[in-house]
Amino acid sequence: MQASRRDVFTVACALAVDAALRAAVAPATAEPADERPREGDYLAAIDAAAPEALSPRDIAAPQVIAWPMEPATRLIRNGSRLNKVLLVRLDPATLVGATRERAADGVVAYSAICPHAGCEVSGWIEEQKILECPCHNSKYNPRDGAAIIDGPATRSLAALPLKIVDDKLVVAKPFIGRLGIAPA
């Protein structure tokens, strides 16, 4: 049996309505700058005048805060502060557990945002080689998955596994652990 023109028109209308409905309920695509760090991303210091992919030897200060950088377009993923990455260079022999596998040439990476109330974890206690949040003094052990040593935080910092590609630090896997403020 051949479909009538009216049948064809009805089916076409139904398909158009269905497509419109699906488009209406589909989640909006995130802007590339808002996307979380992806495998293959470089890391670029947030205070650099001209963003460059960091190498392990660039992590000379106790810690460097960086943005993920898309490798092909060099787009900086700075659309969300949750993308700020804390880089610390340590003696590889002092790393324990999963941190050893997540590190690249002794450099470990964590979310720079404190889960207690969202401050930037910018402090460093040299004698103990631990990270400290300046707001309420939560302390984290970068050699052991940023585990909490002291303070009001209830969750360790999310970890970002790294690898080395052509002498550059590169994201090996997405963040492990929750980002942002821990629910009270």
Q: Which residues bind ligand FES (CB under 6 A)?
A: 114, 116-117, 119, 133, 135-136, 138, 151-153
Backbone angles phi, psi at 97, to 5 degrees: 60, -140
CA distance 53 to 107: 14
SS3 141: strand
The residue type at 158: A
**Closer by beta carbon to ligand FES, 57 or else 136:** 136
CA distance 174 to 158: 10
**Closer by beta carbon to ligand FES, 53 or else 133:** 133
**Closer by beta carbon to ligand FES, 33 or else 148:** 148
What's the closest the beta carbon of residue 126 comes to ligand FES, in angstroms?
A: 19
CB 178 within 8 A of CB 158: yes
What's the closest the beta carbon of residue 134 comes to ligand FES, in angstroms?
A: 8
**Closer by beta carbon to ligand FES, 119 or else 165:** 119
What's the closest the beta carbon of residue 56 comes to ligand FES, in angstroms?
A: 27
What's the closest the beta carbon of residue 153 comes to ligand FES, in angstroms?
A: 5
CB 169 within 8 A of CB 179: no
